[in-house]
Structure formats: C-alpha cells, structure tokens
Structure 1
C-alpha cells in the first residue's frame, strides 16, 4: 500500500547526517533539544547503550508475561482490564487496540508539533520501563531523520495518555496509515507488532509534552523580550527606576522579580547601585509593579521547563517494567504536574500582559509623556496609535479566556474506572493560544513605545530603541498599523537577545 501523503505545510527537510545532532538516550533530553528536532535543525543520535536498555526492558516484559498476566499482556485495557486475552490472540488484540484507539478528531497538527511528539516518545522509550520492542524506537527516530511524520489530529487526549495521537502514530509505524512529508529520502521500515507493544506505545503524554516544550521555548523568548519592551516604555515616559533598585529586591528575595528588575536596569544602562528618580514621585502600576508581576511569569516558565525535563526522561508506561525484573501497575501517566504548570504559566502570563496593555495606554497620555494624545502630532483629532489599545485588549481577552485553569475540568471514563483526568492536553492547547495572544499584546506596546521615543526631543540612547527604530516604519500620520505590529512581533526574538 502507498504509505505516503502530501501535506501543504510540512517541516523543513532534516539536516541530514552532516547536521547537528541531539542525543536521545532516555536521560538527557531537554526543551531545546525537543525544539531543534521538531524544527528539523538537528537529527537524533541514539547511543548503543540506550537502545540496549530498551531491549533489556523488552526481554524482561516478555519473561514476566510468560509467567503471569500483565495489564495489556494477556488482558484487555481500561474497563476490560479483567478480560483474559488468549495467548494466540495477543498480537491481533494489539492491532485491534491501535485501530480502535485511533479516533482523534479535529484539524491535523502542524509537522513540528508531531515531530516534537516523536522525539519525546523515542526518548521516553529509551529510558527503559516500557517493555516495547526496540524496533519502535528505531522507527520513531528514523522518521525524524527522514523528515516524515504521521497524521495526528488535534483532539483526543485528556492528560492521562495521548491515546489517539499515539494510536495514529502506531498504525503509521506498522504501515497501516500513510506518512506525511517528503518521502524522497525513504520511509521508516514498518514494524511488525508483538504482544504488549500497543499498550506500551500508547501509555504516554508525549504529544502534550512535545507541544509543551515548543510553547515553553517560545514563551521563554517572549518573556525575555518583554524586558526590552518594558525598559523602552519606561524610558519613553521618563519613569522612575526606584522600583527597580537592587536594594528593593534584595529585601524581597523573589528570584523572578529580582531578575526582571535587573534586566531592565541592564537594558537602560543603569548600575545596581543607582536608582535615578523619574519625573513623578511614583509611576502607574504598569511601570512600578513590573518586577513583581513579570517575575512570577519568569519563574512559571522555568518551572514548566523543569517538569518537562523530568517527564521526557523517565518512563511513564503502565505497567512499568523495572530493571530489577519486576512490574508495577501505577499512575505515572497522569500528567497532573504538567497540567498545573501550564495553567500556572497562563495565569502568570495574563498578569504581565495586563501590565503591557497598561503601559501601552500610558504612552498615549499627554499627562505622562508630555507628547500629543495617542502620539498623533498630525491634524487636530488625529487618532495616532489609539486603535492599538483595542487590538491589544482584544488579544488580552483571549489571554483571559486561556487563563481559566484546564485542570479544573472533570471527566469520568471507561465505566468509571478512570474517574479523573489532568487535562494537560487542554492546558497546553490553551497555553499555545495564550502565547500567540501575548505576542500580539507585546508587539502593540513595542510599536507605541518606539513612536513615543521618536517623538521625544532626545530619544533614549538604549539598544532596544536603536534595534526597533531601525526596523519599524517612521511615519506618524494616521495610517494602517497592521504591518507595524507584524514587524514588531518579528522583532521580539531579536530584542530577547539583547
């Protein structure tokens, strides 16, 4: 059968054997490695020792299954856990399990999201503990090398295993579903499934974790860029640096707040020992409370990064096949830590986005800037940047919707046996939407901050202004600002590196 299909928007071709490599050994994968594999900026490298660890787990599972029933090996799954599956029917039972669970719905996910899932799942299997035959690991990593991926739909997971996504992946790995992408370099060899392989492959939140790694990386960049945008806005209103003074944050030792304040000082060229007063005795919250509000977002994205680092480097499969030759039935696939971390990040992101929108509004106030209302020096009644308040608040409303905790949802499934879920899949989907909205809010602030800085008698001599002013359009006449916001959004990764 034809096992390839075209996709309108696939990943770029992989770098090939001469490109950078990301080691998948079950112990050392991190967010950056997932992103590089997802974006085809590197190819996976599997050490022989890691593959041997997976092979030992497989052999152990085979021995255990021969001496007594394991969940999914000689039994049904879910509410059918007590149903006995005859030994001669186990292979067909695994195929039926993959076929019946491949019921995802909604739009097909982008190639990079699916590639992130493949990278995570391969590394988890290399951690040992799944009992799956190593040929599945080889097929997963071959797909990453060859630039092909399975078709995976948006909906199906609840944070207790990405069952539909991994079932769709499993059917692709065994040759029953087509690969997407360019097959010019070849396709992974189809795997012949053995008893127990199906459940071992499904028992993971690899899709949620892969997407979480992508959004963690994206928000890390955006939150770094926020320091530069906030510093530029502070300079544009001649704001006070007292709220950013090192002694203030030494007495209130929150790491995130201290980092946010220190970055603004650095970007404004102010030493830790000085805190110049501004034109007002104190500024609005958008400026004065920035460290206290942005700091938790920095800490939240770091916390998410740590949880991803744990989850992608340890086995989550149920049952867990131990290196000591034992098997344990457990709930390690229940992704509560991931869901809660994502929910917390969305709430923290909403807080700092609110202050970004508040700074944008402040930049249009003559009483704070000494500049024309809405930064419109043209004919009387000109609107200037007025509309960007609406655009920013439209995106902010989306952020507000995304900040409703997905973890607060509830479901009872499989005849009541599975009476809860973490909803990490929903949490990561909301966080991806939140990141897009946050980028828009921040880009709107950047456009307005640059215009305000240009209108000052002496523009601020700081790198953020120099870089942004060289890119953003200069005209102050009333005109469409969509292109300005788009250019500002593309500039944010540059500002994050200042």
Structure 2
C-alpha cells in the first residue's frame, strides 16, 4: 500500500533500501528540481555535440553499425526505429515490483545527467511511478551488457507504441537521440538484484534466530561464540555473527552452559560459515549502491567538460562476480542448516526420540524433513554454480564479452528460494524439539521467536503430512528476521 513517504531522486545517494520501498509501494519517488535542470543541460549539450561530430547511437547506428551514419532525411525517426528494433524481449513478464524498481533505478541514473536524454522522459518515469502505471516488460533478452530489450519496451510504452500492463500515461515524444540514451543501462538487472539482495539478507538475519533455537534444543556450548575467541581471528562477518548469537542467547546472568565439551560443526563453526555470507551480502550492497547512482550510459554526455565519451561502462562484471560469490557463500550456510537438522533428529545429541517421533514404536516423526531439505540443498548447489565462467561474442564480433549478471542475479533468486525451504525445515525441527523437551528459553529476543513460532506452527504429535507446516515455517522466517 502506498503511503505519503517520499524518496528524493537526485542522481546520487539512492540506496538499496530506497529502491525496495518504491518497488514494494511503501514510498514514492520525487524528482529533485535541480536534477531536471542538469538533465536539461545534458540534453542540450548532446544535441549540440551531435551537430558537430559523430556520436554513437545518435548520429550513427549501434553495435557493428557504429560507423554507419544515420541518413539525414530519416534522422527524425532514428530513435523510434532503434527502440522498435531492440524491443525483442520474450519470456514471462517481469513482476510489478521488479518493473517499479527498474523505473526508479533508471530515473535516478538519468538524474545523474550523463545520458543526454530529454528531461521529459524523467518526468514521465516519475509520473508513472506516482500514479501506478506499469509497462509490460518481458524477462528474457539481457546478457549483462545492457538491458536493451526491457528498457526499449518501457520507452515504447511511454511513447504509446506498446500497451501498458497497468494504468497509462499520455504519450511521450521520443527525440532522435533519446533511444540509446534511454536504453543504455542495466536498470532491470539491478532491479532484480536489489530485490534478490533484500530477500536473501532477511533470510540470513533469520538464520541467526533459527540457529539459536537449534542451539537451545541441543544445549550447545557458547564457548564457540565467545568474544575472546573471535577477537583472536577477527573476520568481520564472523565477529558480527557471534555477537548476534550472544545477543540472542545471553541474559544478565551470562551465557548458558553447554552439554558437551565440543558441539558438531553445525553449531560450533556457524560464525565461521555464516560470516563470509554476511560479508558477501555487504559487498553486494556496496556494488549495487555504486551502480544505482551511476551515469554509466554509452556515450557519456559530460556537461562539465562538454564532451561525449565512448566507453565500456555497460559491463556489469562487478555485479555478476559479487552475486556469484554470494551464492557460493550461501551454499555453505545451507549445508550447515541441513547438518543441524540431522543433529536434531539424533537422540545422542538431542536427548529425545529418534526423528523427534512421538507416536508408537516405529513412528517416523520429522524424518522426511531431511529429504526435503537436501532436495532444496541440491537445487541451491546447482544455482550456486558461477555464471561468470561463460561469455558471448555477438554483433559481428564487435561485442566479444558478456558478464551474464542478469543470470547471476536470477540464480540468486533460485538459491534464495531453496535456502528458505532448508531453513524452514530446520526451524520446524528446532521448535518441535523445544516443545517436546519443555525447554524454557532465556529472557532474550529468542523467547519471543519461540512464542511466534509456537503460535504459527501447530504441534501434532502423531505422524502426519508436513507440507503445510513447511510453508508456514517459510512464511514465518521474515518475521523472525526482524528479531
């Protein structure tokens, strides 16, 4: 639901959290007046430069047609021809939140005033976001060198050449130089990237809570989370993770004693495995923060030097590599979750019946959760494979590298969904074990976590289908993340 909260769009300072708020409709975008003034100067300079020299995409074709000069007699229609030829996307339509994120990111990039696009296109994007008008944008057509198909579809929708998916605006004229200036961006990939980063970081936050619940169910040893231990090997992510676990577990009387001299790796090495994932997520946020505010269009129309610079800023290798790293780190985290689930069903570790079964002899309890979790882990393992090991050579050999950042992001979406299932299975096991043992949790945020879980998840002693409970546990993870 939209509220009155506004985020100023100025071409700088846009954060991932701001994009999330606009995309998921808790805020709207408000274009700064000086951003329009800068865009106007950039547009006027681009027109002036195009009258004096060759400017890629404005006075020439694109790709391998870079040296082909646009026919003066048809130059006024060059922009629309370029958009029509590039609006070849296919596949499923992008969800509404992705399209809104794409629009606000592109608006902010254009506000950075390096494109030379006509300022009326900035106003059109701002208006569309405010009134809820959404273009129909297809998902397939990008390889990490510019979201040409998606942005061409948005531009043609603004020009009233393609139908709106929701709402509508009055048609916006497209100047001859506007086409490449508008579509020379990775805004759609960045939109999916921001949403993927947000959803995954929430799961990583929830994993601290779920691990702490399992820790209590297994009566773990808190020595592994000692501040002294982590000062001796001060990786930032591990320090942060251990501190979170101490916050969740410690009371005014200190940390509870453990049952064992040393715990299995799922508990004992959790900070060392979770830490790299936290650091990888922070690096993704840093990379995205740069690209959200970048004037990365090719060519760059630079008002300060009054020049047009042709370059390779369309490459998104930073994004692709950051997400490849994040998925690899996430896989290790998910492996530990499945290991802890295995610990929960082991009587020697839990002090409870095998598989946390409560029925007659031979009951299976939550045995099937291990199968479900390892199925999801297998999916995650495949999604974690690096996409940056491949490339593409296109446009008659001129464009001979691609980062496939779009695919790195979408693999992260798949990995996140799989990890949600893995973590939900562990949560079900931990809550069942705590209920069976009648464990009283410390007076920390963890007690509230268990209260929420016991309210949301039914406790059925006898063997029964667990599918609906897995779904409920997946939904609960977002609430646990806020604790």
Q: Which category describes the TM-score, using the shorter chain as reference length?
A: over 0.9
C-alpha RMSD of matched pairs (Å)? 1.4
User: Equivalents in 2 of 1:474, 1:77: separation in Å?
Assistant: 63
Return the alpha-carbon distance in structure 2 between the equivalents of residues 40 and 189 of structure 1. 23
SS of residue matched to 1:415: coil
2:322 alignment partner, SS class:
helix
State how far apart, in whole Å, the 1-side matches of 2:439 and 2:149 are.
59
1:148 equivalent to 2:128? Answer no
Distance (Å, rounded) in 2 between the aligned partners of 1:285 and 1:446: 18
Instruction: Give the secondary structure class of the aligned counterpart of 2:396.
Output: helix
| Greater CA drift, 376-385 or 84-93 | 84-93
Q: Distance in 2 between matches of 1:287 and 1:73?
A: 59
Q: Secondary structure at the match of 1:406?
A: coil
Does the aligned pair in 2 maintain the 1:257–1:291 contact within 8 Å?
yes
Deviations 1:100-141 (A, max 9, x none): 111111111111111110110010000010000011111111
Counterpart of 1:80 in structure 2 is 65
Query: Pairwise mapping of residues 40-119 of structure 1 onto structure 2 (< 5 A)?
Result: 40-119=25-104
Is the aligned partner of 1:327 residue 2:308? yes
Q: Is 2:330 the counterpart of 1:349?
A: yes
Could you tell me whether the CA contact under 8 Å between 1:160 and 1:422 is conserved in 2?
yes
Report the 3-state secondary structure (helix = DSSP H, G, I; strand = E; otherwise coil) of the residue aligned with 1:416. coil
Q: Deviations over 1:319-340 (max 9, x none)?
A: 0011221111011110011111
Q: Which moved more, 1:338-347 or 1:480-489?
A: 480-489
**Which of these residues, 270, 292, 298, is aligned with residue 312 of structure 1?**
292
- Asked if residue 283 in structure 1 is aligned to residue 268 in structure 2, the reply is no
The corresponding residue for 1:135 is 120
How far is the alpha carbon of 1:428 from its aligned partner? 0.8
User: How far apart, in 2, do the equivalents of 1:78 and 1:397 lie?
Assistant: 40
Equivalent residue, structure 1, for 2:142: 157
Rounded Cα–Cα distance in structure 2 between residues aligned with 1:54 and 1:417: 30
After TM superposition, give the deviation of residue 456 of structure 1 in Å: 1.0
Cα shift at 1:470: 2.2
Shift of 1:459: 3.6
For residues 448-494 of structure 1, the C-alpha deviation after alignment (integer angstroms, 9 at most, x for no partner) is: 10001111143434332222122210112111111211111111122
1:248 aligns with 2:225: no
In 2, the alpha carbon distance for the partners of 1:451 and 1:388 equals 12
Q: How does 1:338-417 map to 2 (within 5 A)?
A: 338-417=319-398
Residue 381 of structure 1: how far off its partner (Å)? 0.9
- The answer as to whether partners of 1:102 and 1:168 remain within 8 angstroms in 2 is yes
What displacement does 1:281 show?
1.6
Indicate conservation of the 8 Å contact 2:14/2:289, yes or no. Answer: yes
CA contact (8 A) 1:242 1:276 kept: no
Q: How much has 1:275 moved relative to structure 2?
A: 5.6
Q: Deviations over 1:44-99 (max 9, x none)?
A: 10110011111111111111111111001110100000111123322322211111
Are 1:104 and 1:156, in contact at CA under 8 Å, matched by a contact in 2? yes
Normalised TM-score (structure 1): 0.94
Contact 2:337/2:422, CA 8 A, preserved across alignment: yes
Runs of 4+ off more than 3 Å: 273-277
Offset from partner CA, 1:335-373 (integer Å, 9 cap, x none): 011111111111111110110111111100001011001
2:208 to 209, 227, 233: 227
Q: 2:175 aligns with which of 163, 171, 194?
A: 194
SS at match of 1:71: coil
What is the aligned partner in structure 2 of residue 3 from structure 1? none
**Aligned partners of 2:123 and 2:457: how far apart in 1?**
47
Q: Gaps (5+ residues) in structure 2?
A: none
- Which residues of 2 match residues 388-467 of structure 1 at below 5 A? 388-461=369-442, 462-467=447-452
Q: Secondary structure at the match of 1:409?
A: coil
Contact 2:373 2:425 in 1 (8 A): yes
Aligned match of 1:168 = 153
CA contact (8 A) 1:237 1:363 kept: yes
TM-score (norm 2): 0.97
